[in-house]
Amino acid sequence: MTNLKILLTTRKYIATAQLFLSLSLIFGTWVTYIPFISTKVGLSKGDLGIVLLFGAIGSIFTLPFGKKLVSKIGEGKLALITTSLYAISMLGNFIADSFFLLCVCLFVNGLSSALMQIASNSIVSTLEKKDNVSIMSSCHGFFSFGGLIAAGFGTMILIAINNPLIHIILMVSIVLILQAVFASSYLPYKTESHVEKNETKHYKKPIKNVTLWGLASVALCVMLTEGAIADWSGLFLRDVVLVSPNIVGLGYAGFSIAMTLGRFVGDNLSSKLGAWNVIVWGLALSIAGFILVLWANTFPTLSGFLLIGFGFSTIVPEVYRLSTNVKGVHPSSGISFMAGAGYFGFLTGPVLLGAIAENFGLKTSFLLLLALVTLGIIIATFIRRKKALAVK
């Protein structure tokens, strides 16, 4: 826990970590009210799938210009702008009264949140290199922690005030206050100020780098699966495992807690074992977890979700860290590429799983998730052993 202790006792690190917390506080509140908003607007399951897809489209839309924005205004300013935009734009989701307006809001949500991830991960990368510290996994731990707060504390607010609009206004206010308190600590960061201008001539487009494609594929596999588990684990427990309705939330709760704890110790694991070992062993642990989940018996399935959470916890932070160290690719280009691909997977996972579940059943959907994670470990093992690996 040494790295986490360093983070918690250093203002500039806390300022960066709260960006991840802010993102998940807003996102978690939105997820809580998806059924309510869907009913209010009168969406069918198909309509809801299309609405959610617009969030993914917004995130992938950032790929061509994410790096340019970081270079032009700096990741610090971009983080402040996009965090504020994401929080404020989420109000639209709760006010929208039509399918069209909700699609527009989700597009802006996806666009701003993806740019926010590019900016915040770029800041972490800059800090790690400048200060010779490892805090990437711990910062991502704050995202998982924010999700737990949004689910737990958010449920209490929901019961107490029973007013979705007031609830989201409260969460948006908290996020904006956090930025007012901490913005001065992360605003100065700008990657270009640490890079010699003549050095940028040697960088190539990320789309031409095989190693970056491999890393993005691993991130896509993991985040697509993570997004699917977030939305469908409860239904799997209810409809496949046939547990009591009172405990259907335990699967995702165990998954989220394991993700949070795993990320808070992930930086120490990475320092001791190395990034690639953490990624490969994390994927292996997740595969074991899926086997238990597919056992379709209460205790093994709940234990499986816990294992998947631990396995997944450190993979995405390590992939982000590696993406900033790919030779021939500018760090912010690597982060932009990774954030776009990963977040696209996170947002499309629930939509794809829903379509498959509707036609072939939930168990088949989770078998495909197992296959996807298996593909991830194959890709990770291949690029790890590749002699021409371009990662420092």
Sole residue written with tokens 């300022």: 15
Which pLDDT does position 227 carry in this prediction? 82
Between CA 278 and CA 227, with CA 147 as vertex, the angle to 5 degrees is 65
Which residues fall within 8 angstroms of residue 144, CB to CB, at 6 or more apart? 24, 256, 259, 260, 263, 313
Amino acid at 373: V
pTM: 0.85
Q: How far apart are CA 321 and CA 122, in angstroms?
A: 9
Sole residue written with tokens 């270009």: 192
Q: How far apart are CA 353 and CA 220, in angstroms?
A: 14
Closest CA to 365 of 273, 232, 170: 232
Which pLDDT does position 139 carry in this prediction? 93
Which pLDDT does position 373 carry in this prediction? 94
Closest CA to 253 of 230, 232, 273: 230
Residue 48 CA, distance from chain mean position: 21
Which pLDDT does position 93 carry in this prediction? 95
Q: Which residues of the chain have pLDDT under 50?
A: 193-198, 387-392
CA distances from 58 to 115, 121, 212, 316, 344 (A): 10, 18, 21, 20, 9
Q: Which residue stretches of 249-361 are H helix?
A: 250-273, 275-293, 298-313, 315-323, 331-360
Which pLDDT does position 204 carry in this prediction? 59
Write down the CATH number for the domain with range 2-385.
Answer: 1.20.1250.20
